[in-house]
């Protein structure tokens, strides 16, 4: 089966969206476990990663409902690619802060507008509690920032491939 047909099958089916929901929930649960069970408090960049991840979860839930409509499916894949780019940017900045190749100010203010004040509405999940500088080690010496960067880059490439494939499918018709 050609790659474009495989990508089209993935783009039309529910597995991609269900996988993103499961991965997003697992990421959020892991973050909360590290915060509340292991006392690794989140910095502003960690909170931003959580917000981008929440965006992916919400979009994937919506996409499940509209995946059978070609234009809405294309829009969902395009928006997923944008969210993955945002997730990668925040993950890269987190890694750069951890490793010292990106310098910048890291405040205790999430920088959210009043109409999207997740840090006030859900402080247990989105309140900044620590300064940037390091992330905890997950497994085999890999830090959370390293894992997030690799994961976000991989998801961005795959999401972009699905988006471009859906674009070509619509233009073929």
* Pair 129, 42: CB distance under 8 Å: yes
The H-or-E segment that residue 51 falls in is helix 44-66
The DSSP line for 119-131 is HHHSHHHH---S-
Structure tokens, 7 = 């990508």
pTM for the model stands at 0.92
Report the Cα 110 to chain-centroid distance in Å. 17
Q: Which CATH superfamily is domain 3-172 in?
A: DsbB-like (1.20.1550.10)
pLDDT digits (tens, 9 = 90+) for 32-88: 999 999 999 999 999 999 999 999 999 999 999 999 999 999 999 999 999 999 999
């Amino acid at each position: 089966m050609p790659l474009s047909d495989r990508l089209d099958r993935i783009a039309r089916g529910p597995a991609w969206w269900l996988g993103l929901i499961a991965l997003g929930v697992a990421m959020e649960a892991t973050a909360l476990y590290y915060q509340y069970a292991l006392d690794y408090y989140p910095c502003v960049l960690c909170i931003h990663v959580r917000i981008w991840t929440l965006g992916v979860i919400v979009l994937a839930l919506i996409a499940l409902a509209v995946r059978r409509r070609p234009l809405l499916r294309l829009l969902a894949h395009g928006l997923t690619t944008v969210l993955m780019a945002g997730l990668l940017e925040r993950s890269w900045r987190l890694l750069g802060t951890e490793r010292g190749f990106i310098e910048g100010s890291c405040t205790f203010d999430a920088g959210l507008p009043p109409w999207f004040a997740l840090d006030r509405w859900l402080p247990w999940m989105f309140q900044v509690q620590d300064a940037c500088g390091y992330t905890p080690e997950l497994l085999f010496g890999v830090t959370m920032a390293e894992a997030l960067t690799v994961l976000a880059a991989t998801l961005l490439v795959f999401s972009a491939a699905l988006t471009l494939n859906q674009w070509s499918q619509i233009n073929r018709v």
